Structure 1
Amino acid sequence: MAQLEQFTPLAGTVDSVVSRMRALDAALPARDGVAVFNRVYLTVTEEVQRQLSGGRFTDPRAATALDVRFAERYLAAVDAAADDRRPPACWRPLFQFRRHPGVRPLQCALAGINAHIGHDLALAVVDACHTLGCHPADLEDEFDRVGDLLASLEERIREDLMPGPDLLQIADPLTHLLGSWSLERARDATWSAARALWALRGCADVAEEFTERLDAAVGFAGRMLLTPLPD
């Protein structure tokens, strides 16, 4: 049951995961698809870092645990790919198409968000509950705040990375492809998945099967988001 293991007490910090993402940003070529997503995620995590420092979270310990466990899932996928190990299915399309000339930066950004929200966040909620000795309902406020940060960023990502003037975007196949994916729907599905995984924690075989199916389904959606497009 590799995906649902109970983690040891929290060792990392938000500062440490931000430092790791900054190092990746410096090391990866700017147009690499993983680098595109990493910049997006770094922006979100730096905002969480600022809000924690500013006392914006009602439960800083819970927010830290969720944010760190969430980031660890992404960083573990990066490490697996770098070591020629298989990352989770949800991440494989991005690593496979990260340098494809027909895949645009916006596709990479949203494919990474799809993998991280659709799969990693559900498991991170369970990880954080084990770390804190609480239930998913106790993390709902922190879950919503992180989701709100991502939602506010998604619109800016689309504006910054969508190519061409507005009149041409209507005919751009990228517009139609990305219109099939919704962050809000992904967040809702993720919260349901986290609650289901927590409820299944005493049924190891069923929980493992549920996790594998979730991983595969999110990976399928990511592959669709990364469909190579004509110039």
Structure 2
Amino acid sequence: METIDEVISKMDKIVFDCQQTASRIGFFAILYRRVTIRIKEGIINKEFEDNARMEKLDIIFAQRFFDAYNLYLEAKQPSKSWFCAFETAEKSGTTILQHLLLGINAHINLDLGIAAVETMKNGNLLDIKNDFDKINIILSELVDGVKSNLSKVSPIFGFLIKFANGKDEVLLNFSIQIARDGAWKFANEYAIAANLDQALNNRDLSILKIGNKIAKPGRRLSVITKFISWTEWKSVPRVMDQLEVISKENMPLQLSFNKLETA
């Protein structure tokens, strides 16, 4: 791939395939496509420090998802973090939010740091830090908007979120800001690693542990998530259609640059 338009075209195909096969992998694919479209708009509007570099980062970043997805379809082994997300998508009793967070966990916690290093292969990694953070701001604001409106497809979760007081991440012990910070720390470690394969494998095992906690959050929370899942819409294509509407309505129109200063 050489352009972000090619990335979006491939995302379109994955979304279509997931709708046809009723695959819950499509929940994350819907969200990720919307993020990619927003990044494209940002590139067009010159919102990033280096817009050509951002397109390169987006392509490398997306390719890791595409590679993992294709390996899984071919019954081959993607990264353990992605396998956890894909395998969980085949099981019932898991909430829509869990599927979204499992994809985010693998893609941000593992893939983003690697993509940043590969993008800056012959340069200073620190130069990409602000644009690296902007990707996470886009994703974080979109996820917050989606969570606030999940009641349309997940009535009980919508009820619970009203009483979370901004602490809803405790339901599944996952924070995108913490993931962002961890991803940047890993990028710096990966950039100077003597053995890249070993560094990647070690990181993958660490992120798998987070994925397992999202998929199986302990006995008490598992009871809660199973109850939530029983009340959610059962039609995967319908959920995907509604997620598309929700994500489109809640996509940030302007990057919150002040979050870069306070994060």
TM-score, L = length of structure 2: 0.75
SS in 2 for 1:217: helix
Q: Which residue of the partner structure matches residue 53 of structure 1? A: 44
Deviates more, 1:54-63 or 1:162-171: 162-171
Unmatched tracts of structure 2, length 5 or more: 217-221, 228-263
* CA distance in 2: counterparts of 1:19 and 1:103, whole angstroms: 29
Structure 1 residue 151, shift from structure 2 partner? 1.2
How many matched pairs? Answer: 212
Give the Å deviation of 1:54.
Answer: 1.5
The CA distance in 1 between the partners of 2:127 and 2:212, in whole Å, is 33
Instruction: Summarize the Cα distance change of 1:97–1:105 in structure 2 as closer, same or farther, 3 Å threshold.
Output: same
1:199 aligns with 2:188: no
Displacement, 1:177?
5.9
Matched, 1:216 2:201: no
Change (3 A) 1:167 1:160: closer
* CA distance 1:182–1:48, change in 2 (3 Å): same
Q: 1:176 to 1:116 in 2, by over 3 A?
A: closer
Counterpart of 2:259?
none
Spell out the pairing of 1:96-107 with structure 2 (5 A cutoff): 96-107=87-98
CA-to-partner distance for each residue in 1:189-218, whole Å, 9 max, x for gaps? 110100111122xx12xx332211110111
String of CA shifts for 1:157-216, please: whole Å, max 9, x gaps.
Answer: 222335335554569xxx67634111101100110100111122xx12xx3322111101
**2:32 pairs with 23, 34, 41, which one?**
41
Query: Sequence identity of aligned pairs in percent?
Result: 24
> Separation in 2 of the partners of 1:92 and 1:136?
28
What TM-score do you get using the length of structure 1 for normalisation? 0.85
**Deviation digits for residues 125-145 of structure 1, max 9, x if unmatched?**
111112xx2121111121011
1:129–1:136 contact (8 Å) kept in structure 2: yes
Q: Deviations over 1:71-90 (max 9, x none)?
A: 11111100101111101011
Instruction: Please name the residue that 1:182 is paired with.
Output: 175
Contact 2:25–2:89 (CA<8 Å) still a contact in 1?
yes
Say which structure is richer in helix. 2
Preserved contact between residue 118 and residue 186 of structure 1 (Cα < 8 Å): yes
Query: Would you say 1:26 and 2:19 are equivalent positions?
Result: no
Q: Name the SS for the 1:224 alignment partner.
A: helix
Q: Which 4+ stretches in 1 moved above 3 angstroms?
A: 165-171, 175-179
Choose from 75, 82, 85 the match for 1:84: 75
AA partner of residue 70 (structure 1): F
Match of residue 226 from structure 2: 230
Contact (CA 8 Å) 2:18, 2:24: kept in 1 or not?
no
CA distance in 2, matches of 1:224, 1:158: 19
Determine the C-alpha separation between the residues in 2 that align with 1:50 and 1:176.
29
Q: Which residue of 2 aligns with 1:148?
A: 137
User: What is the CA–CA distance in structure 1 between the aligned matches of 2:100 and 2:133, rounded to whole Å?
Assistant: 21
